[in-house]
Amino acid sequence: MTALRRLREGWTGYVVGVMSFTVHLAGGDTVRVESEPVDVEGVFDAYRMSAAVNAIARTEAELDGDTPKDWPTGPLISPNSLAAGDNDVVLFSGVSWSEPGDVVGVEEFGANATMNFSGHPGQLSDTAEIGCVTTDAFVVASATGEGLLVRTGLKPESLEVITDAVAVRAFLLERGYANDG
């Protein structure tokens, strides 16, 4: 949580990796966000966001032989109005759950089968056997209204970074977040 609060500060840029999102802050620190698996009762993995300050090596020598999960090699992307600071950060909860084999749509796989689903908490089924609520997305909005959405991706441990204003707004509305002010 502390690391994500730092995203309120001014940015000099950000890098999007396959499994990470790294923000370079104006003060010289970095905030690295990853999607990490959480074992849910040995039945399935749910994915949640984790964030840390200065969690990446700045040079290959600093790695000291370690190999990071996702070395952020992409170009430094301009933060546009997020560079000014005074940004808002809004966290969103997601839920992953399993359905028993006798539920409609699952029964064709057999009585011992389970199906796993993910969505927002309002989508959790009444027939869910096991569920896990996680932080699966966040939006950073500048004082000018520009927004950037980071959410867990469809592939395990992946992230999606979305800057398209229409897509960010659609996500906010889908999750029930409306700012009338």
Q: What is the pLDDT of residues 71-80, one digit of tens each?
A: 666 689 999 9
Helical segments of the chain, H only: 2-5, 60-63, 165-174
Give the model's pLDDT for residue 62: 54
For the chain, strand residue ranges (E) read 11-16, 20-25, 30-40, 44-53, 88-99, 115-119, 130-141, 147-152, 159-162
- pLDDT range class, residue 160, cuts 50, 70, 90: very high
Give the model's pLDDT for residue 68: 58
Q: How many other C-beta atoms can be found within 10 angstroms of the C-beta atom of residue 44?
A: 19
For residue 170 the two structure tokens come to 């659609």
* Distance separating alpha carbons of residues 32 and 123, to the nearest angstrom: 29
**Which amino acid does the sequence have at 3?**
A
Give residues with Cβ within 8 angstroms of 80, minimum separation 6: 142, 146
- pLDDT range class, residue 142, cuts 50, 70, 90: very high
* Segment 99-124, tens digit of pLDDT: 876 666 656 766 666 778 888 898 99
C-beta of residue 96 within 8 angstroms of C-beta of residue 136: no
* Distance separating alpha carbons of residues 48 and 157, to the nearest angstrom: 9
Q: How many other C-beta atoms can be found within 10 angstroms of the C-beta atom of residue 119?
A: 14
For the whole model, what pTM was predicted?
A: 0.84
Average pLDDT over residues 82-89: 98
Q: How many other C-beta atoms can be found within 10 angstroms of the C-beta atom of residue 151?
A: 19
Q: How far apart are the first and last CA of the chain?
A: 26
Tell me what percent of the residues of the chain surpass a pLDDT of 70.
81
